[in-house]
Chains A and B, each alone.
Chain A
Amino acid sequence: MATEMALVKPISKFGNVSPKFTIPRSFSRSKFTTVRMSATSSQAPSKPRKKASKTEIKESLLTPRFYTTDFDEMETLFNTEINKNLNQVEFEALLQEFKTDYNQTHFIRNKEFKEAADKLQGPLRQIFVEFLERSCTAEFSGFLLYKELGRRLKKTNPVVAEIFSLMSRDEARHAGFLNKGLSDFNLALDLGFLTKARKYTFFKPKFIFYATYLSEKIGYWRYITIYRHLKENPEYQCYPIFKYFENWCQDENRHGDFFSALMKAQPQFLNDWKAKLWARFFCLSVYVTMYLNDCQRTAFYEGIGLNTKEFDMHVIIETNRTTARIFPAVLDVENPEFKRKLDRMVEINEKLLAVGESNDIPLVKNLKRIPLVAALASEILAAYLMPPIESGSVDFAEFEPQLVY
């Protein structure tokens, strides 16, 4: 997974859903550099942060999440004995694609990395570290989830299980590559520690499908857009990791295809009015989260020569077009009103952040937050209620007989 989705997660203060299992069974810590980062830090590993030994991780509404799901339900869903309609042909085709392993020899570093990192100084350096850290966390969270699914589905559906395992291979490579990038900045994420210390967000399988599908596809569009932009404007190519994005993001796109096939194998998740409402909800959550996140980090995107809002809108529109090939309904993101709403959410979010950073006592802060949270909620609701676009795979969609190819 190359991006994060957070708004759908209940804020821990207001009643967190506790994960049904703990993942780090046999995670070998010894393999990892033991620098623990609770937030972005640019200090050398030789002098760990003062708070580094605490198991506290600064989590906000918009930080990348770790996911867990109901593995028993997953097993039932993909049990070929119970579910005889599973389109194994698509899964077998996907398995072939993943076994092909297009990027087997892609993630090889060179000395450009360290040199480029040394040249990055000042605020941009800090922001780069944060980018690497967040991306690494997001990829790693995909690794954990897919690895466990690969393990759990082995008996009931070996083909689907193997695809999950191969996807965890990709995510591990991506996370490892990003972590190597952090080493250029004399840092490393302690992934073993993260595995244990991070909160896991629980999603029912159906929601895992929507969320990870979107996460993979939006990840593809983000990476390819950055890659193609930098290819055109090499003067902003300040760190070589972006040169790897073209091949890299093909993995993300394929992962998305797999979730597409998983959903097609469970048409009950695609074909009723509830599915349409959920599809719109997940689209909105993912788009809003990204927009707010990126606008908070506009210096990063400007640092590589992008206009943050234009970049995000391009990514949202393309992801939405892609998603319309499988979700039964998507948002009308090309309606200018949608962007106006997003921009208003950014303004409100900035005010919310300002309240958090003010010197008021907690009670006053909370009182000041109330109208802002209400305003944000009403913008989000209004965006959700905008007339949607009916969509879906031509294998299911009602408009298929009229379609001209």
Chain B
Amino acid sequence: MATLGRGCWSSAAMAMANHHKLQTQTNKSISLPMSANYTHNSFFSFNSASLTPIAAKSSFKTAVAAVDSDGVTSSNAAENEQPKKYYFVVANAKFMLDEEEHFKELLSERLRLYGERNKEQDFWLVIEPKFLDKFPNITKRLKRPAVALVSTNGPWITFMKLRLDRVLSESYEAESLEKALSSNPTDLQFEKPEKWVAPYPKYEFGWWEPFLPPGSKEEAKV
């Protein structure tokens, strides 16, 4: 399987694991929080810092600056010069956006969490990404149009690969977020499923718009 950059992730993860050891856990007795209002479990303390692997943190500011949607800081050339690593999983658009409905739920859940914890978005869906040109071994096995889930959080992409399974995974470097997420304009169309037996309707076409890169959102709506 094409999964590069594992060494890099594991070092990040190791840092994470070490960090976690510092958190004291004295859970000698089994106790169940009987109150559902009990948001802080007695034997686990969590802070929002655990969202990001520690090793990735040093470069995280760059991402924040680059993603800034108001455009004030995004033109900061000095920060854009540092190439950043992007991890992705990719498959055909039908699989990613139409068939795998749990995928939509995972992305919405994560976006909801980022909102709750005031965390800058670090994952995007890219329809027909330009970076695929760098990966002939992937493109020769890929139905088009393709959709990639891209993130600066390597371990999370490893998790998404585990979840989706029928996807290809790789990583690349790019100097700016704009370059990293640039795509070729594509029209998406999914045929309605022949028989839809679920006792609920499908997620609406276009559910993915909140996850498109900042610049392409308006494009998609046109």
Contacts and interface: CB of A to CB of B under 8 A. Distances in A.
Contact of B46 (A99, A158, A395, A404): A99
A153 to B, nearest CB: 14
A175 interface: yes
Interface size class, chain B: 35 or more
A176 B36 contact: yes
Contacts of A25: 30
A92 B13 contact: yes
B190 interface: no
Interface stretch (A57-65, A103-111, A376-384): A103-111
B36 A109 contact: yes
A147 B33 CA distance: 14
Interface string B87-105: 0001110010000001001
B109 interface: yes
A204 interface: no
A269 B150 CA distance: 32
A156 to B, nearest CB: 15
Contacts of A173: 33, 36, 38, 41
Interface stretch (A27-35, A44-52, A75-83, A116-124): A27-35
Given A93-B156, A405-B91, A306 B199 contact: yes
A208 interface: no
A359 interface: no
B54 to A, nearest CB: 11
Interface stretch (A253-261, A277-285, A367-375): A253-261
Contacts of A88: 10, 13
Interface stretch (B65-73, B74-82, B165-173, B205-213): B165-173
Interface string B3-47: 000100110011011001100010111111111111111001010
A61 B40 CA distance: 37
A313 B197 contact: yes
A387 to B, nearest CB: 22
Contacts of B28: 26
Contacts of B13: 88-89, 92-93, 95-96
B222 interface: no
Given A89-B6, A102-B109, A180-B36, A169 B20 contact: no
Given A95-B13, A404-B143, A405-B92, A307 B199 contact: yes
28 contacts: A25-B30, A27-B30, A32-B34, A89-B9, A89-B13, A89-B158, A90-B158, A95-B17, A96-B13, A96-B156, A99-B20, A104-B40, A108-B39, A144-B30, A165-B27, A173-B41, A176-B35, A224-B105, A225-B200, A231-B200, A253-B102, A257-B162, A313-B197, A314-B198, A314-B199, A394-B166, A404-B143, A405-B90
Given A104-B46, A173-B36, A173-B41, 20 more contacts: A27-B29, A28-B30, A92-B158, A93-B156, A101-B50, A102-B113, A105-B116, A107-B39, A162-B20, A176-B32, A224-B102, A225-B199, A225-B200, A232-B201, A311-B199, A394-B166, A395-B1, A395-B165, A404-B143, A405-B141
Listed from nearest, the 6 A-B pairs whose CB atoms lie closest are A92-B13, A228-B200, A93-B158, A93-B155, A325-B165, A93-B159
